[in-house]
Amino acid sequence: MEAPPYSSEGAEYPDSMLSRKFGREVVNYFSGSPLNRVSFLRSNTSFLRAALPASRFLLLRGLDPLASSKTNLGWVKYDSVSSLIGKPYDLDEEKTIEAFDSRVSAPTLIFLGLDEKATDSTFEYSGAGGNYKGQPFFALDVSPKEGELKEKLEKVAEEAVKEPGYEFRKVRIDLSLVPGDAAILAHARSLMDWNSRNQFCAACGGRTISVHAGTKRTCPPFDKAFQKSPNDASFERPPCVSRKGVHNIAFPRTDPTVIMAILNAAGTHLLLGRQRRWPPNFYSTLAGFCEPAESLEEAVRRETWEESGVRVGRVVIHSTQPWPYPNNLMIGAVGEALPDGEKIELNHDPELQDAQWFPIEKVKAALEAPQNGLHDAPPEGYKEGDLRLPPATAIAHQLMLAVANGFHLPSSEVAATAAKI
């Protein structure tokens, strides 16, 4: 079964003063998670201990998630994973760090949040902060590994795919999941990838330990592996700059990326480009990483000029999209070229094979035709030579759609434009 085409009109919020001025919120694919992350409970080991047996676990094998179908993730219960995860929250966080032993391995376990709308969960927790109810969810790494966990990891992964239809999905960029599951996967995948790349401290090279239920890592000051006997004093690791001041914890990385629909000064054409390795006639909006100490608006102007030679004036932020490959935040903007800055020059940065000004009417027609991803064969009904654009699950599509619907026009003209579609 295929998921229905993605619609960004998922915002539950009522019509309001801000929505009347700026339009309805665009909920991009990979955002809009059904889970409440309750991030303040991640270091509360009493909560985590209580939640574990009532939880559902998303298994990831080399970042491929367990799925029950083409459109849905597959979940396993605590009984299936308890022997692998052991008792990770028996000690409070401070004691866990003190008891660090670099010989002991543990699979990465990440608390994702509570689904407060789940009807089949009775889990509830009352603590200092209040009462929290809902189905708890975790992500668990079951990638093959040598060492003491090898057999347990293999067993959990093998048992999980015995359920009919269950498999670890090997999809390069997964755009087929229903939106809620896509958002959960984005969250789990980005954090799992970050954990796997930060097993060692960036400052001293020593092993790090997962804290805050898989959402932070720290460089422990002691290591029991070097204690000759259990009665000896704790073995102190060499001093590490990461243990000083406020930067004593490694936080997950999110890479801000700007992606922009650039209009010509008259508002009649859109600037789109293509990379050499893309399929023929496939174009998209320009994009690039935001650099340190650069505003998003400046990043839009710099990247557009470097890649296309076009000089951009005013820039307006439209919407944003988490992109878990591996951990980008796509920040979507609409910008306009300066009247004397519209000339396309590709010689600065060789990233694009081509960039062109496309009439908005042509972009609109291409958006009305079926689209699919970069790695798919052209959609059914595609005529050779037609413009191909990214599907609705990509923020690039939503930016082009916004412009086709008159995002840049005074509100009196928007109604007239929308009526023509």
Asked if residue 219 binds Zn ion (CB under 5 A), the reply is: yes
Considering only CA atoms, give the Rg of the chain.
25
* DSSP track, 48-87: HHHHGGG-EEEEEETTEEEESSSSSB--EEHHHHHHHH--
Q: Which is nearer to Zn ion, 85 or 219 (CB)?
A: 219
Residue type, 319: S
Q: Which is nearer to Zn ion, 201 or 355 (CB)?
A: 201
Binding mask of the shown chain, residues 151 to 190, with x at each position contacting Zn ion by CB under 5 A: ----------------------------------------
CA distance to 279, 286, 391, per residue, from 354 (Å): 13, 11, 20
* DSSP track, 245-291: GGG-SBPPP-EEEEEEEEEPTTSSEEEEEE-TTSPTTB-B-EEEEPP
Closest CA to 272 of 288, 287, 290, 258: 287
Q: How far is the CB of 203 from Zn ion (least distance, A)?
A: 5
Q: How far is the CB of 367 from Zn ion (least distance, A)?
A: 50
Q: Which is nearer to Zn ion, 211 or 219 (CB)?
A: 219
Closest CA to 177 of 326, 328, 34: 34
Q: How far is the CB of 195 from Zn ion (least distance, A)?
A: 16
Q: Which is nearer to Zn ion, 165 or 205 (CB)?
A: 205
The answer for residues whose C-beta is within 8 angstroms of residue 90's C-beta and 6 or more apart is 45, 49
Give me the residue label for tokens 């060499």: 238
Binding residues for Zn ion, how many (CB under 5 A)?
Answer: 7
Q: How many CA atoms lie within 13 A of 168 on its CB side?
A: 16
Q: Which is nearer to Zn ion, 113 or 220 (CB)?
A: 220
Asked if residue 240 binds Zn ion (CB under 5 A), the reply is: yes
Using the contact rule CB under 5 A, the part of the chain among 31-39, 219-227, 252-260, 359-367 near Zn ion is 219-227
Asked if residue 250 binds Zn ion (CB under 5 A), the reply is: no
Q: How far is the CB of 135 from Zn ion (least distance, A)?
A: 37
Q: How far is the CB of 207 from Zn ion (least distance, A)?
A: 9
Closest CA to 346 of 282, 276, 257, 295: 276
Asked if residue 201 binds Zn ion (CB under 5 A), the reply is: yes
Asked if residue 209 binds Zn ion (CB under 5 A), the reply is: no
Using the contact rule CB under 5 A, the part of the chain among 58-66, 193-201, 285-293, 314-322 near Zn ion is 193-201
Q: How far is the CB of 227 from Zn ion (least distance, A)?
A: 19
Judged by CB under 5 A, the residue of 178, 203, 316, 346 near Zn ion is: 203
The helix (H) or strand (E) run that includes residue 218 is strand 216-218
Closest CA to 319 of 261, 254, 253, 405: 261
Using the contact rule CB under 5 A, the part of the chain among 3-11, 56-64, 215-223, 404-412 near Zn ion is 215-223
Q: How far is the CB of 199 from Zn ion (least distance, A)?
A: 12
By three-state DSSP, how is residue 188 classified? helix
What is the sign, positive or negative, of the torsion defined by CA atoms of 322, 325, 328, 332?
negative
Asked if residue 204 binds Zn ion (CB under 5 A), the reply is: yes
Using the contact rule CB under 5 A, the part of the chain among 130-138, 196-204, 297-305, 330-338 near Zn ion is 196-204
Binding residues for Zn ion, rule: CB under 5 A, are 201, 203-204, 206, 219, 240, 242
